[in-house]
């Protein structure tokens, strides 16, 4: 009987060849249609060319935007939802903010000012509830996550007492792993109360990381606003769950001299806020750094105009993507682990009593 991993070899080779061919083709198309000297301007009767800007290209792909930019010829406009006292609530397509050359223009009294939408007449910011690229990716991730987990829950009910099948056979071991290896050891006998939240955190970050590796996708979990929101949720749950012993340890550490308690007090208070800060930065940096490395290698094909460079960087990008798959799981694990650890620290003294 064939070993299971042998059956995966053709699929891995196919993905490998597709990636190599795709990046090489992309480099060739850029050389033919968009050479390094992409933009030109006539100054004093001479045509001056603006060289390909790798930094600008990378940042544009990593940061949030009011449109979803897949390629130069495939751009999906997103809904703009703004409110101001002067004009009230208005909804329109973000395509109105760009002309045929992708330059920003004014529309209906509004204009883009970096990430913000402002009134052209006064320059004041408006209440911006627009669906940006990361917001759209957030909805997609949530829909996929809910669909997968509801499907697994339904299969579990139908196959109670039987061996898991299909998607359930993949998700169920992960749930058991999070419960037995992350939540139980760090929180203790109160773990059932916090298990749904930590499972949601783990799968949301995992799905966001994996979907973010797809070509043309958004950098959801590499957005500091997203990671900060997740960390703040953990911060509130941890501190609202804190018992008397937890707060006593922070404000009046037992078992140490009074003078030392006064010195320790500001350190303990600061540590309450550094925990969510560490969660925020760790996930943000790890995911964003991976995207930047991959995009930097892809940009080398555009800079050097060489099939050799295109094939070489494609090979490297394939292996980095494999590493990024590992990082996607590790970062979800680490965020869930530290969340469980912080919650366990805030409730640990109850177990002694």
Domain contains 200:
yes
Classify residue 244 by burial, with Cβ atoms within 10 Å: 0-12, 13-18, 19+: exposed
Name the domain boundary from 128, 145, 177.
Answer: 128
Domain contains 258:
yes
* Separation CA 300–CA 20 (nearest Å): 14
Q: Rounded to 5 degrees, what are φ and ψ at 318? A: -60, -45
Domain contains 11:
no
- Residues 211 and 323 placed together within one structural domain of the fold: yes
Domain contains 170:
yes
- Residues 95 and 73 placed together within one structural domain of the fold: yes
Name the domain boundary from 82, 111, 128.
Answer: 128
**HEC readout, 27-60:** HHHHHHHCCCCCEEEEECCEEEEECCCHHHHHHH
- Residues 81 and 230 placed together within one structural domain of the fold: no
- Residues 247 and 303 placed together within one structural domain of the fold: yes
Domain contains 12:
no
- Residues 123 and 137 placed together within one structural domain of the fold: no
Question: Could you give the number of structural domains in the chain?
Answer: 2
Domain range spanning residue 108? Answer: 67-128
Domain contains 249:
yes
User: pLDDT tens string for the chain (353 positions)?
Assistant: 334 333 444 444 444 444 444 444 444 444 444 443 444 444 444 444 457 777 877 887 788 888 887 776 788 888 999 888 888 898 988 888 887 777 788 888 888 887 778 888 877 888 888 899 999 999 999 999 999 999 998 888 887 777 778 888 889 899 999 999 999 999 988 889 999 999 999 999 999 999 998 888 888 999 999 999 999 999 999 999 988 888 888 888 777 787 888 888 888 899 999 999 999 999 999 999 998 998 888 888 888 877 788 888 889 988 998 999 999 999 999 999 999 999 999 988 644 44
Name the domain boundary from 128, 145, 178.
Answer: 128
């Amino acid at each position: 009987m064939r070993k299971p991993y042998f059956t995966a070899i053709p699929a891995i080779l196919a993905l490998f060849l597709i990636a190599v061919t795709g990046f090489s083709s992309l480099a060739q198309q850029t050389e033919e249609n968009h050479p390094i000297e992409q933009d030109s301007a006539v100054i004093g009767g001479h045509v001056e060319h603006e060289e390909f800007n790798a930094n600008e290209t990378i940042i544009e792909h990593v940061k949030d935007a009011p449109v979803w930019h897949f390629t130069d010829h495939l751009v999906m406009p997103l809904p703009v939802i703004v409110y101001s006292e002067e004009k009230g609530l208005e909804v329109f397509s973000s395509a109105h903010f760009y002309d045929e050359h992708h330059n920003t223009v004014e529309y209906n009294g509004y204009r883009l000012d970096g990430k913000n939408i402002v009134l052209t007449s006064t320059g004041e910011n408006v209440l911006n509830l627009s669906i940006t690229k990361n917001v759209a990716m957030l909805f997609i991730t949530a829909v996929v996550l809910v669909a997968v987990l509801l499907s697994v829950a339904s299969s579990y009910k139908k196959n109670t007492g039987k061996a898991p099948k299909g998607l359930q056979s993949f998700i169920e071991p992960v749930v058991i792993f999070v419960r037995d290896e992350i939540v139980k050891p760090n929180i203790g006998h109160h773990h059932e109360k916090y298990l749904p939240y930590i499972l949601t955190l783990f799968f949301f970050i995992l799905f966001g990381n994996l979907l973010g590796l797809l070509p043309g996708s958004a950098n959801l979990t590499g957005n500091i606003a997203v990671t900060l929101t997740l960390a703040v949720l953990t911060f509130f749950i941890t501190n609202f769950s804190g018992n008397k012993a937890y707060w006593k340890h922070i404000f009046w550490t037992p078992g140490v001299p009074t003078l030392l308690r006064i010195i320790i007090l500001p350190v303990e208070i600061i540590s309450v806020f550094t925990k969510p800060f560490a969660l925020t930065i760790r996930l943000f940096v790890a995911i964003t750094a991976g995207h930047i490395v991959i995009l930097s290698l892809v940009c080398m094909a555009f800079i050097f105009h060489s099939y050799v460079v295109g094939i070489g960087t494609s090979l490297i990008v394939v292996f980095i993507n494999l590493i990024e798959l590992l990082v996607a799981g590790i970062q979800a694990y680490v965020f869930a682990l530290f969340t469980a650890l912080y919650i366990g620290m805030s409730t640990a003294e109850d177990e002694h009593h």
